Amino acid sequence: MKKILFFLSLLAILSSFISFDEVVRAIKSGDAAGVSAYFDNTVEITLPGKSNSYSKSQAALVLRDFFANNTVKDFEILHKSDDSGSQYCIGNLKTSNGIFRTTIFIKQKGGKELLQELRFEK
């Protein structure tokens, strides 16, 4: 019984890292649909010159437009942290229009890892 509980706990921990890694992979490839699959019902998005809280569908459009105007070349994680149900990372998104300091914040909500905030700052 202890082994079963151990494996279930391990599976829960690993699944939270999988969703975070999938978000990072989607950002690295400029895949707005892949990122938006992990959006919460409302998402805070910060872009150069504007910051707003968007519904899931609005945020998907905003991110799609951002990637369309800034072709992604690479994403390098500079710092990553996991703290009691939330994860974030800071990195550099290299695009056709320069480098954006990027912050990703994901929080566990209702048993799922959901993206709460994205920041792209020049």
Q: Is the pLDDT of residue 117 over 80?
A: yes
The 10s digit of each residue's pLDDT in 17-49 is: 457 889 999 999 999 999 999 999 999 999 998
Rounded Cα–Cα distance for residues 104 and 87 (Å)? 8
Q: Mean per-residue pLDDT for 74-84?
A: 92
**Predicted confidence band at 80 (pLDDT cuts at 50, 70, 90)?**
very high
Q: What is the CATH number of domain 2-121?
A: 3.10.450.50
| Higher pLDDT among residues 24 and 10, named by residue | 24
What is the predicted pLDDT for the residue at 16?
45
Q: Mean per-residue pLDDT for 64-71?
A: 97
**Predicted confidence band at 10 (pLDDT cuts at 50, 70, 90)?**
very low
Pick from 6, 31, 4, 37: nearest CA to 112: 37
Q: Is 110 helix (H, G, I), strand (E, B) or coil?
A: coil
Domain boundaries, given as residue ranges, for the chain: 2-121
Under 8 Å between Cβ of 67 and 32: yes
